[in-house]
Structures are given as C-alpha cells and as structure tokens.
C-alpha cells in the first residue's frame, strides 16, 4: 500500500512539474510573439501618463556630499529624469546652484513633457521635430502624436541657433566640428548643411551654451539619430528628397532665471499649448507636406524599379 501511494504521489508531482514547464514555455512563447513585430509595422505610439504633482528644490553648489546623497536617494532612471528636467548631464552636476526635483519621480521622462501630447495640425505629417528656445527642449512627433521629448542646450547669446524650418540631411556617429577640430560630436545629425548646424551629444550645462548647434543628452541624440530620416541626394549632392522637418522657434531670456525653476511655484509654467505649436507649424505646413509627398513618390519609384 505504501509503495502504491508513493508511486501515485511521485506521478502527481511529475504531472505538476510538467504542467509548470509547459506553462512557462507558453508564457515565453507568448512574450516572444508580443515583442516581435512584423517587419515594416509602424512603431507604437507610447502611452504617456502625465505627471500632475509639484516640484521642490535641492541645493547643490557648495555641498560636497550632494552627489553622494543624490545617487543613494534615487535610482538610475530617476536620476536621468531629474538631470533632464534641469537640462544638465552628470559632468555638470556640481556646477549648478540647485536642482528642480519632482515630489514624485516617475521613471518615464515623457510623463514630464512640457509639449502637448497631440497636435491635430500635424496629423498628416509622418515625422516632425520641434526645438523650443525658451525652455531649451525638443519634441518628436509622429502624425501628431508625441513620441519623445528631452532637454537641449542650444546656441549661446553670442552664437545663436538659427530659427525657422529646416530638414535633416546627412548624419555621422562621430563628426569633428568644423568650428573647432577638438570638438568631437557624437550621433551628429545635420539640419543646415551650408552652416554646419545639427543636433548631437555634447556637454549639457543647464543653459544655452553651444556654438549654434543643438546639444542633447547622449540617449536622446542616439534615439533621434536612428529615428529621423536622411535626405536623398545624387552623387553631385543634388537634393532629390528632404529628410525629417525640423522647426527651431522662440527666444531665450538670458536675463531671467532658468525657466524650469518656475515649476517650483507653478508646475505647469513651462507647458506649451497645442495652439503655440500650430502657430509655428502652419506657415510651413504646405512646404513640409510637399517635401513629404516628393520623398514618398521617389521612394515608391525606387521600389518599383527593383
């Protein structure tokens, strides 16, 4: 009787283990299928939950333990969010007087976007990038839906970034600046070929400090590098089709406090209204759509000729 009981018990545990194994395999297969998207499928627009809390200030300058406390108190993702909100990188952490910090720190920087989540006027524009001079930030849109935003350090008062519409053209993972051969620009994407202006990774000090280019944190520069489109040119550099449209707009007040510190009194102080984006877009929309259509037709003709 005991032997029979032990055999039945052993078989029961074997059956349970077998079910668990196949259950785990099914879960892994399901996850694999969910993560594998068909080739050519449009990227999913991220779901963004907006932060609606308040902000506080953390003194930094003159505090030798501030960096140690900062790293101990916050996770790597939270640190990234805080630095992005203050338009700085780690190399400039001890060079600022204080940091603006959300009362509740979420891991998704998109939750703190000052840009509108949707812009109806962009519905027919496949890809679009805006750089706001007043708040030193960029936003990337797909058919009117915000897909990413981040901090920037634009042209200084002496070397301002040219505002208005341009298009991305050539790119390079590393590019030596034409202004100074000691400046190595990573994930460089040019937007004004003749002037040599583009966006790229470079030091972020928390104010507009570049030599007319658009500085970014490395993760943002690399993302935009992969996301935006290059122009299409012939061998003689004749432009057949433009790349992704880019609008740099507004002006920075160099005499006022950094605009993100206004969040301490008013959490929505840096918010940009959809109407403000549309105002910058509308005078350029026809040109953008014409360039987009020309590129679409050229790409279609190339596919047909294969």
The residues annotated with a catalytic role in the active site are: 200, 213
Taking CA atoms, 288 is separated from 4, 150, 234, in Å, by 79, 23, 21
State CA 270 to chain mean position distance: 17
Distance from first CA to last CA of the chain, Å, rounded? 76
Give kind and range of the element (H or E) at residue 4. helix 2-35
Q: Is 111 exposed, middle or buried (0-12, 13-18, 19+ CB in 10 A)?
A: middle
Rounded to whole angstroms, the Cα distance separating 168 from 193 reads 9
Beta bridge partners of 200: 215
Instruction: Supply 265's token pair.
Output: 């009194």
Rounded to whole angstroms, the Cα distance separating 16 from 173 reads 53
CA angle centred on 280, ends 274 and 284, rounded to 5°:
125
């Amino acid at each position: 009787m005991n032997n029979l009981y032990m055999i039945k018990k052993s078989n029961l545990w074997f059956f349970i283990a077998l079910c668990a194994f196949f259950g785990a395999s099914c879960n892994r297969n399901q996850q694999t299928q969910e993560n594998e998207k068909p080739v050519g499928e449009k990227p999913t627009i991220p779901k963004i939950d907006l932060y609606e809390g308040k902000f506080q200030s953390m003194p930094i300058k003159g505090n030798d333990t501030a960096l140690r406390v900062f790293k101990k108190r916050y996770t790597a993702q939270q640190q990234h969010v805080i630095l992005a909100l203050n338009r700085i990188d780690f190399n400039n952490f001890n060079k600022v007087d204080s940091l603006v910090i959300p009362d509740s720190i979420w891991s998704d920087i998109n939750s703190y976007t000052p840009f509108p989540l949707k812009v109806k006027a962009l519905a027919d524009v496949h890809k679009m990038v805006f750089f706001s001079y007043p708040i030193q930030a960029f936003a990337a849109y797909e058919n009117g839906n915000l897909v990413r935003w981040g901090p920037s350090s634009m042209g200084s008062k002496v070397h301002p970034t040219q505002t208005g519409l341009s298009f991305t053209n050539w790119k390079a993972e590393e590019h030596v600046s034409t202004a100074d051969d000691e400046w190595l620009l990573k994930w460089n994407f040019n937007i004004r070929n003749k002037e040599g202006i583009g966006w790229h990774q470079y030091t972020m000090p928390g104010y507009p400090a570049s030599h007319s280019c658009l500085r970014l944190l490395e993760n943002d520069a690399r993302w935009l590098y992969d996301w935006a489109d290059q122009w299409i040119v012939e061998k003689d550099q004749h432009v057949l089709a433009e790349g992704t449209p880019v609008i740099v707009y507004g002006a920075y007040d160099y005499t006022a406090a950094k605009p993100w510190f206004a969040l301490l009194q008013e959490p929505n102080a840096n918010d940009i209204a959809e109407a403000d984006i549309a105002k910058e877009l509308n005078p350029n929309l026809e040109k953008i759509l014409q360039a987009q259509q020309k590129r679409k037709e050229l790409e279609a003709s190339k596919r047909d000729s294969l």
